[in-house]
Amino acid sequence: MPERVRTELPGLANRFETFVFDLDGVVYRGQRVLPHAVEVLNLLQEAGRQVFFLTNNSGATRQQYAEKLRAMGVDAQPEQFITSAWATALYLQRALNPGAKLFVVGEPGLKQELRTAGFEIVERVEPEIPAAVVVGIDRAFSYARLAQAQYAILSGARFIATNADATYPAEDRLLPGAGAMVAAIATATGQKPRIIGKPNPQILQPYIERGLIQPERTLLVGDRLDTDIALANLLHIPCALVLTGVATRDEVASAPMEQLPQWVLNDLSDLFGDAVRHLLLHAH
Q: Encode pLDDT of 179-213 as tens digits.
A: 999 999 999 999 999 999 999 999 999 899 999 99
What are the catalytic residues? 22, 24
Specify whether the CB–CB gap between 251 and 228 falls below 8 A: no
Percent of the chain exceeding pLDDT 90 equals 91
Does residue 262 share a domain with residue 225?
A: yes
Provide the pLDDT for residue 279: 53
Name which of 109-113, 119-123, 251-255, 279-283 the model is least confident about: 279-283
Instruction: Flag whether 63 is in a domain.
Output: no
- 90 and 191 co-located in one domain: yes
- Compare 2 and 201 and report the one with higher pLDDT: 201
Identity (one letter) of the amino acid at 146?
L
Q: 15 pLDDT exceeds 50?
A: yes
Please, how many CA atoms are within 13 Å of residue 116, restricted to the half-sphere of its CB? 15
Burial 132-145 (b: 16+ CB within 10 A, else e): bbbbbbbeebeeeb
d(C-alpha 184, C-alpha 81), whole Å: 29
Same domain, 18 and 118: no
H helix intervals, 119-225: 143-154, 178-189, 205-209
Check residue 284 and give its pLDDT.
Answer: 46
Domain boundary among 155, 179, 195: 195
Backbone phi, psi, residue 122, to 5° = -110, 145
Per the CB < 8 A criterion, the answer to whether 130 and 101 are in contact is yes
Find the CATH number of the domain harbouring 38. 3.40.50.1000
Name the band, by pLDDT with cuts 50, 70 and 90, for residue 5.
confident
Supply the range of the domain harboring residue 133: 85-195
Q: Where are the alpha helices (DSSP H) in 122-272?
A: 143-154, 178-189, 205-209, 230-234, 249-253
pLDDT digits (tens, 9 = 90+) for 99-153: 999 999 999 999 999 999 999 999 999 999 999 999 999 999 999 999 999 999 9
Instruction: Specify the DSSP class assigned to residue 270.
Output: G
Greatest Cα pair distance, the chain, in angstroms, is 65
268: phi then psi, degrees, rounded to nearest 5: -65, -20
Its pTM stands at: 0.92
Return d(Cα 249, Cα 13) in angstroms, integer: 21
- When pLDDT is averaged across residues 92-100 and rounded to a whole number, the result is 97
Domain count, the chain: 2
Domain contains 254: yes
The mean predicted confidence, pLDDT, of the chain is 94
Paired sense of beta strands 120-122 and 239-242, if any: unpaired
Picking from 195, 214, 243, the residue at the C-terminal end of a domain is: 195
Task: Tell me how far the alpha carbon of residue 190 is from its chain's centroid.
Answer: 27
Among residues 164, 195, 226, the one where a domain terminates is 195
90 and 190 housed in the same domain = yes
Structure confidence at residue 1 (pLDDT): 45
